[in-house]
Amino acid sequence: METEPPAVEINAHATPEAEEPSPTPTPYVGTYYFVQSEEDSLNIYEVDGENKTLVKSAEVNLELFPASDKEALQQGVKVNNLEEGIQLIEDFTS
């Protein structure tokens, strides 16, 4: 029985093409806010460049939150503006 040669020839000595380096991300410029849990409080921070300022804080019992919410808040949740941050805290504390 004769076998046909493969349709595609595999070259075991081929070298991968050089990949172009991925572009360096441009750091965010401007002011933004994020909500983050710390100990028994939810805090809203304003970030402007490298400066991080606490804007508002509310005491909460984080043990009552679902694990997924606690994890997200520990990492910090970015919000579009201060009002959205305040609303997020109010949603968790009411």
DSSP conformation class of 85: H
Position 2 in a domain: no
Which pLDDT band, with edges at 50, 70 and 90, does 2 fall under? low
Range of the domain at 77: 31-93
Q: How confident is the model at residue 24 (pLDDT cuts 50, 70, 90)?
A: low
Q: What is the pTM of this model?
A: 0.65
Residue 79 lies in a domain: yes
Closest CA to 71 of 36, 34, 45, 33: 36
Q: Decide: 88 and 34 in contact? Cβ < 8 Å.
A: no
Q: What is the mean pLDDT of residues 51-69?
A: 92
Residue 81 falls within a domain, yes or no?
yes
Q: Is residue 28 pLDDT above 60, yes or no? A: no
More confident residue, 3 or 72: 72
Least confident of 2-6, 13-17, 31-35: 13-17
- Residue 10 inside a domain? The answer is no
Q: Extract the tokens encoding 11.
A: 């070259």
CB 29 within 8 A of CB 42: no
- Name the domain count of the chain: 1
Instruction: Say if 25 falls within a structural domain.
Output: no
Token digits for 5?
């040669």
